[in-house]
Chains A and B, each alone.
Chain A
Amino acid sequence: MSAMQTKTPPAQPRGVARTLAAVQRKGYMQALPTVAALVIFLGMLVYGEIAYGRIVQFNTLSNLLVNNAHLVILAVGLTFVILTGGIDLSVGAVIAFSSVVGVLLVNAGWNPWLVVAAMVAIGSAFGLVSGVLVQYFGVQPFIATLAMMFLGRGLASILSTQPERLADDSGFRSLGTTWKIVDGPKVNDLVISPGVVAAVVVVLVGLFLLHRTRFGRTVYAIGGSEQSASLMGLPVPRTKVWVYVISGTLAGVAAVVYTARLGIAQNITGIGWELDAIAAVVIGGTLLTGGAGFVLGSVVGALVLGLMTVLITRDGGIPPETTTIITGGILFVFVLLQRTVVRQRR
């Protein structure tokens, strides 16, 4: 709760309730789940450093970014869809299909850059189909993207059910290299990868689009009330198709980042990632009903999930089987938090 006090300039030493009231008066209540996510993330960092050590250091933190770049990218894409009150279940399967196609094409001798473009285009195409089904054929987002999920997974399995390896000398691998920014003592280096750069670019573009453009305001308006948005003359149909195209395209980008890092693609890649991404978005404070949320919140949400895995691995005493239980628990707490916030605002 201390982090919130920084948001309310007049000193409020009279307890949490008063702080909450002040925050609410100033209309910051909406940001509470996001702030809570940030607090949890910092708390996990501090706890991890105290309990296990070697957490707050270049090596661990840069690995956290490198290993979760694809999740951050997915979460940004899903933020757009969820803000309109929709959902995209297809991202994990789109990644599988796009990755398998990409590796097969590279190994068939295609130009790596052309392959990257093709992989991203596959994502856009899936998103476009979802969007058209949702907007022009009245199919519910849940069902339309479920169909795309089945389609992506099935097509990937038709192409190959074996792990497809990138050739070691392939130019595509250059996207998976890591750059050493700071050469620390021993293995404590600050490294970033092209994937991290891609994630940062995606986040910045997402921030700009959602918070600084007419398109972004339309996205929020649709989530608030689609009917009102229509009556105000906003381009609702076009925007709704676009959010699915964005989500699909970013799934394609995530496929490039992930495939380049691992050098392997398989038809079972990305199973359950749509749920991780949805969890990241929700933990980051975006309302599943749409209309409220932040891109940066989703980034924090993705990092919370990534850090949780790191801590569980470090602890060693927590059985890895419980990871999903803990994810579920965190998700549950945050949804309850959102629920209280929404109640307070009424």
Chain B
Amino acid sequence: MSSPTTSARARASTVLRAPYFWGIVAIVLLLAINTIRDPGYLAISVHPSTGNLAGNLIDILRASAPILMIAVGMALVVATRGIDLSVGSVMVVAGAVSMEFMSAQQSNSAGTALVALLLALGISAGLGAVNGVLVSVVGLQPFISTLVMMLAGRGIAKVITGGQNTTASNDSFRWIANGYVLGIPVVFVIAVLIVVAVALLVRRSALGLMIESIGMDPQAARLAGINRRALLLTAYITSGLLAGIAGVFATATVMTVDVSQTGYQLELDAILAVVVGGTSLAGGKFSIAGAAVGAFLIATLDKTVVFLGISSSATPAFKAAVIVIVCLLQSERVRAQIPKLRIVPRRAPKEVASA
């Protein structure tokens, strides 16, 4: 991003221009608050017997994995000028399918875990495809098609488990969420690998650009010969699939699917993450890196609220504060009041491939 001629001022403006700049500022602020309260908050220790890393930061990384998944999917959908309200419900369906399968098999083998995983991913991709068809072929508004899926999805999960919170035991499945690779939580490693893969896929090919073009001006995109239906389908299937992975993460942690709580209102977290990441809900641009920053911010916020001894059910109030502040910082009216911020264009220039 920097060239030899950039002055300090220009470099500062480049940093400010990054759409997710304020998200990073917020994360640093939250971590600073925690460190003030407990100077050892940031410390990362190595568990003496297992050799795994342990510490608050590791906990935050682990908690951010499901949010990362759904936020990245949401970013793609939002870029097409859509929205996916069904991610939380898709998560619970994925969790319900895998738990129900494993509890029926009563087997501890890795094969069972793999089949459960594939079932979960298959059905979540299927639900995403239904969303995609409703939006692209039937032509319903994304808000309403995914709202229907959100209502129906939680019902489907309840039907699958018979209204029960199904529990299962399978060590391989459990490892996905609770295991470690080289001392780092597996769940975080998988999440980062998937996010990087998606980012490379959409930014190293024309896919991302085409997705943005539908969001920016559907008419122009059509005239340019872009296959709107296929792209919308791709975006919604990706979102469903990633939500399914998030659902597996969320249920594997406790090896229980709670049909009314798993993934509940996580679609709102995902939307918040995307907005914090600088993606406008009006569509036409997206930032995977921004969505990731947003996901980290939400995980940090969740952990901070609990760490400060506030009831976790009060977290939404703090999220509201974050949303309002971010939206105000992005609004023209506030920017006009703060001359220094006026260098930030309303639509920040597209960032190149980044993870």
Contact (Cβ within 8 A) A278 B311: no
Q: Given contacts A142-B83, A324-B152, A325-B159, are A148 and B320 in contact (CB under 8 A)?
A: yes
Chain A residue contacts of B331, Cβ below 8 A: 137-139
From B155, B313, B317, B332, contact of A322 by CB (8 A): B155
Instruction: Assess the B148–A147 pair: CB atoms within 8 A.
Output: no
B46 at interface by CB-CB < 8 Å: no
Which of A30-38, A42-50, A329-337 lies at the interface? Answer: A329-337
Interface membership of A157, Cβ < 8 A: yes
**Cα–Cα distance between A202 and B118 once the two chains are bound (Å):** 51
Tally of A interface residues using CB under 8 Å = 46
B35 within 8 A of A: no
B191 within 8 A of A: no
Q: A321-B163, A331-B148 are in contact. Are A155 and B317 (CB under 8 A)?
A: yes
When distances are taken between beta carbons in the complex, the residues of chain A under 8 Å from B163 are 319-321
Known: A151-B316, A158-B311, A335-B144. A143 touches B323 (CB 8 A): yes
B156 part of interface (Cβ distance < 8 Å): yes
What's the minimum C-beta distance from B290 to chain A, rounded to whole angstroms? Answer: 15
B140→A133 contact, CB < 8 A: no
Chain B contact-residue range equals 35 or more
Residue pair A140, B282 in contact (C-beta under 8 Å): yes
In the assembled complex, B196 has its CB within 8 A of some CB on chain A: no
Residue of A nearest to B271 (CB): A146
- Please tell me if B209 contacts chain A, counting CB pairs below 8 Å: no
Name which residue of chain A comes closest to B149, CB basis. A328
Which B residues are in CB contact (< 8 Å) with A154?
A: 313-320
Complex contacts, A289 vs chain B, CB 8 Å: 141
Q: Which residues of B contact A133 (CB under 8 A)?
A: 324, 327
Q: Is B197 an interface residue (CB 8 A)?
A: no
In the assembled complex, the Cα of A289 lies from the Cα of B143 at a distance in Å of 11
**B138 at the A interface (CB under 8 A):** yes
Q: Which of A102-141 contact B (CB under 8 A)?
A: 133, 136-140
Q: CB-nearest residue of chain B relative to A90?
A: B320
**B328 an interface residue at 8 Å Cβ cutoff?**
yes
- Is B28 at the interface (CB under 8 A from chain A)? no
Say whether A319 contacts B152, CB under 8 Å. no
> Does chain B have a CB within 8 A of A240?
no
Which among B138, B310, B324 has the greatest number of chain A C-beta atoms within 10 A? B324
Distance A319 CA – B314 CA, assembled complex (angstroms): 33
Instruction: Tell me the minimal C-beta distance from B260 to chain A in angstroms.
Output: 10
Residue of A nearest to B275 (CB): A143
B151 part of interface (Cβ distance < 8 Å): yes
In the assembly, what is the distance between CA of A339 and CA of B138, in Å? 9
Instruction: Count A/B pairs, Cβ under 8 Å.
Output: 133
Q: A327 touching B317 by the CB < 8 A rule? A: no
Interface positions, chain A 263-306, Cβ under 8 Å from B, are 267, 275, 278-279, 282, 288-289
Chain B neighbourhood of A138, CB < 8 A: 331-333
Residue in B144, B156, B315 whose beta carbon sits within 8 Å of that of A282 in the complex: B144
Residues of A within 8 A of B275 (CB): 143
Q: Is A161 an interface residue (CB 8 A)?
A: yes
**Any B CB within 8 A of the CB of A153:** yes
> What is the chain A residue whose CB lies nearest that of B281?
A140
Contact A144 B141 (CB under 8 A): no
**B-chain residues with CB within 8 Å of residue A324 when the two chains form the complex:** 151-152, 154-155, 158
Known: A148-B320, A275-B147. A158 touches B314 (CB 8 A): yes
Tell me the smallest distance from the CB of A251 to a CB of chain B, in Å: 16
CB neighbours (8 Å) of A329 from chain B are 148, 152
- Is the CB of B43 closer than 8 A to any CB of chain A? no
Q: How far is the CB of B269 from chain A (nearest CB, A)?
A: 10
Beta-carbon contact of B327 and A147 below 8 Å = yes
**Chain B hits for A327, CB < 8 A:** 151
Query: Which of the residues A155, A157, A323, A335 comes within 8 Å of B140, measured between beta carbons?
Result: A335
- The listed residue (A149, A322, A331) touching B144 by CB distance below 8 A is A331
- A322 near B159: Cβ-Cβ < 8 Å: yes
**Across the interface, which residues of B come within 8 angstroms of A179, CB to CB?**
none
**Contact among A151, A157, A323, A331 with B147 in the assembled complex (CB-CB below 8 Å):** A331
Q: Is B139 an interface residue (CB 8 A)?
A: yes
Cβ 8 A contact of B148, one of A136, A144, A161, A328: A328
Which B residues are in CB contact (< 8 Å) with A155? 314, 317
- Taking the closest CB of chain A, its distance from the CB of B161, in whole angstroms, is 9
A144–B317 CB distance below 8 A: no
Interface check B110, CB cutoff 8 A:
no
Is B268 interfacial (CB 8 A cutoff)?
yes
Shortest A327–chain B CB gap in Å is 5
With a CB–CB cut-off of 8 A, which chain B residues contact A319?
Answer: 158-159, 162-163
Chain B residues contacting A328 (CB-CB under 8 Å) are 148-152, 155
**22 residue pairs A–B, Cβ–Cβ below 8 Å:** A87-B143, A137-B328, A137-B331, A139-B327, A139-B328, A142-B143, A142-B281, A150-B268, A154-B319, A157-B311, A157-B317, A158-B311, A158-B317, A161-B313, A319-B163, A321-B162, A322-B155, A322-B159, A324-B158, A325-B152, A328-B155, A335-B145
Write the residues of chain A forming the contact surface with B, with a CB cutoff of 8 angstroms: 87, 93, 133, 136-140, 142-144, 146-151, 153-155, 157-158, 161, 267, 275, 278-279, 282, 288-289, 319-329, 331-332, 335-336, 339
